[in-house]
Amino acid sequence: MKTESLRNELLFLLICLLFVSCTKEHKPEIGLFYDDNISLDYHQVIDAYKKLADFYDEAALFEKGMTDSGKPLHLFMISAGGDFDPGSVRNKGKGIVLINNGIHAGEPVGIDASLQYAVYLLEKRDDLHHLLDNTVIAIIPVYNIGGLLNRSPFHRMNQSGPELKGARRNARNLDLNRDFVKQDSKNSRSFAGIFHYLDPDVFVDTHTTNGMDHQSVMTLIPTMHQRLSGQMGDFFRHKMLPVLYERMNNETTWGMIPYLQLLNRQDVRDGILAFNDNPNYSSGYGSLFNTFSFMTETLAYKPFSERVRSTIDFLRILHEFSSGNNERIIELRQEAKSTTRELDYFVAGWETDTGLSEKVLFRGYETEEFSGEFTKRSIRRYDHNRPWSDSIPFYDKFIPVTEIKTPRAYIVPGAWNEITERMKLNGVEVEYLERDSVIESEITYINDYTISSASNQGRNHVVVLETKTRLGKRQFHRGDAVIWLNQNSNKYVVSMLEAESPVSFLSWGMFTSALESGEWFSLYAFEPEAMEILRNDRELRQEFERRISSDDEFAGDPLAQLQFVYDSLPHPETETGSNLYPVGRLL
């Protein structure tokens, strides 16, 4: 009986092994319908990636954090030899390319294109598989999950397909391509985890654009090359970008031009301006960490199938370039990281240099004006029967407008712990004071600012108009965060903590309560005290008299005069409440 039982168990095990073997032999059927003007929905996309991960040893699908939709953010990786550990991959000298899709779920081209490209790689089509020898492909299948779950024919109007499209904003009604540094969404915080887990060498975020009509299917937003440290910017501008444009224009039927921001809204022939992708945007965020970063923007008026195919070709050409230049890209990034760790000055604001341009070939259509049947207003119409081609100016250089001397460190009081937590999500190393300490630091006062009356991304923007700084001793406390400026993340830290940075936490309204007045005085009771203060303080009295004689408005405003005296009092730093910026700078 025991022998027969053992025989049956072995037979059952053999049948199971044969079943698994047979199952493994059948490649998964991945349905892609972009030629039929159909984009996959969320469940179809994740199911397809699960099938690929189950079948191919070189593929894996991970859950990496949560999103505002209540569903996890997925990361799909393709790596030769089945090595999905970024540290191990780096030790082998391999690079990593990260592709993000569906940030605006109404622009789904990248969702379908990335899945198709993954199939091509894994099925070893078109001799692509060898690119994996030195380059790992990482894909976020759908970033804005909440938006894709909310599909409609009427989202992201005026596209030539697909039939159903997701919503632009996410489940919390945030535009995720404005949330990369402030990180109010769970999506962006999970993305930061993925980004710093991988530390990608190359990053591309896929989009669709409308605006003016032209002959090219693909437009491209490369990150501002001047934001990249060391020799990275020169390599990016003079080698990487020319190859991508040349190959997309000469080896494909789609064509590719820079993203269209017109110098003159009436005529593209006057030139186009490079897009200033500040770090709120995906590519700007990537460049803060010295990653070669792009946003692809396919033209909404082209058929959906063409937009998907052009994105596939761009991913292929980018992958081929990254693989062919892998050693140089890794070398440049290591050099850039070293430069960033020793950053002396930081540029917080840029503007386009309209005095310098280069020529790019633009293929457009002649236009004519006609009266709209519905509104009767003048409307521009593009005539596809009258194409034209010409070289036009392209302004892709930027001038620094706000330069900041980098401190040795910042101190963020423990009361603002949510700021410190966001820092840590972005790879920032944080130390904490072990005891209460009086520390000499640069103290910043926000003397003048405006707060927007309308909210943007759920926040009212703060624009700093004037600051005043001085060196002084300031009380800090046990548990306050110290962030030293000797890190790979230096550019992110300065961007977010400098009061004058246009994308700082302050600009996003996260320090607004610190700008509100906390103390006041009794009007009738303070007046005799103010007179006594002026009698006993000669310098203050002279300054007061100068203001009276030179400023008619001040001379006629008794309340302003009392405020002048009150502001002169040596309050504790925390009680000059209305304008003290909480973050200290150690010089």
Query: Are 411 and 432 in contact, with CB atoms under 8 Å apart?
Result: no
Average pLDDT across the chain, whole number = 92
Residue 456 DSSP one-character state:
B
pLDDT 10s digits, 426-477: 999 999 999 999 999 998 989 889 999 999 999 999 999 998 888 888 999 9
160 burial type by CB count under 10 A (0-12 exposed, 13-18 middle, 19+ buried)? middle
Task: Report which of residues 26 and 180 the model is more confident about.
Answer: 180
Question: Lowest-confidence range among 5-14, 413-422, 426-435, 561-570?
Answer: 5-14
> Which of the four pLDDT bands, split at 50, 70 and 90, describes residue 13?
low
Question: Lowest-confidence range among 236-240, 250-254, 466-470?
Answer: 466-470
Give 533's contacts (C-beta < 8 A, 6+ positions apart).
Answer: 540, 565, 568, 569
Q: Closest by alpha carbon to 64, among 159, 235, 192, 224?
A: 192
pLDDT (0 to 100) of residue 157: 87
Question: In the block, which residue shows the tokens 């001799």?
Answer: 127
CA atoms 262, 268, 273, 276: torsion sign: positive
pLDDT of 9 strictly over 90? no
Name, of 453-457, 520-524, 572-576, the range with top average pLDDT: 453-457
Question: In the block, which residue shows the tokens 């894909």?
Answer: 139
DSSP assignment string, 335-382: HHHHHHHT--EEEEEEEE-TT--EEEEEEEEEEEEEE-TTT--EEEEE
pLDDT 10s digits, 72-94: 999 999 999 999 999 999 999 99
Report angle CA 541, 444, 352 to the nearest 5 degrees. Answer: 120
pLDDT (0 to 100) of residue 567: 77
Tokens coding 236? 């990016």
Alpha-carbon distance of 51 to 73, in angstroms, equals: 17
Paired strand residues for 297: 207, 219
> Which of the four pLDDT bands, split at 50, 70 and 90, describes residue 572?
very low
pLDDT (0 to 100) of residue 22: 45
Task: Indicate the class that CATH gives domain 30-342.
Answer: alpha beta
pLDDT (0 to 100) of residue 21: 46
Q: Average pLDDT of 563-577? A: 65
pLDDT of 20 strictly over 80? no
pLDDT (0 to 100) of residue 126: 87
Alpha-carbon distance of 232 to 331, in angstroms, equals: 9
CA atoms 125, 89, 206, 384: torsion sign: negative
Report angle CA 141, 145, 151 to the nearest 5 degrees. Answer: 110
Query: Are 201 and 333 in contact, with CB atoms under 8 Å apart?
Result: yes
Query: Are 423 and 556 in contact, with CB atoms under 8 Å apart?
Result: no
Report angle CA 499, 419, 581 to the nearest 5 degrees. Answer: 35
Q: Average pLDDT of 383-409? A: 94
**Strand ordering across the sheet containing 378-395:** 272-273, 378-395, 358-371
Amino acid at 540: L
pLDDT of 169 strictly over 60? yes
Q: What percent of the chain has pLDDT over 90?
A: 81
Q: What is the C-alpha end-to-end distance of the chain, expressed in Å? A: 84
Report angle CA 310, 121, 45 to the nearest 5 degrees. Answer: 70
pLDDT of 575 strictly over 50? no
pLDDT 10s digits, 283-320: 999 999 999 999 999 999 999 999 999 999 999 999 99
> Which of the four pLDDT bands, split at 50, 70 and 90, describes residue 571?
low
Alpha-carbon distance of 413 to 577, in angstroms, equals: 15
pLDDT (0 to 100) of residue 426: 97
pLDDT 10s digits, 531-564: 999 999 999 999 999 999 999 999 999 988 988 8
pLDDT 10s digits, 200-211: 999 999 999 998
Domain residue extents for the chain: 30-342, 367-399, 400-518+576-586, 523-570
> Which of the four pLDDT bands, split at 50, 70 and 90, describes residue 379?
confident
111 burial type by CB count under 10 A (0-12 exposed, 13-18 middle, 19+ buried)? buried
Question: In the block, which residue shows the tokens 């890190």?
Answer: 487
Q: Closest by alpha carbon to 192, among 487, 421, 456, 510?
A: 421
Backbone angles phi and psi of 293, in degrees to 5: -130, 145
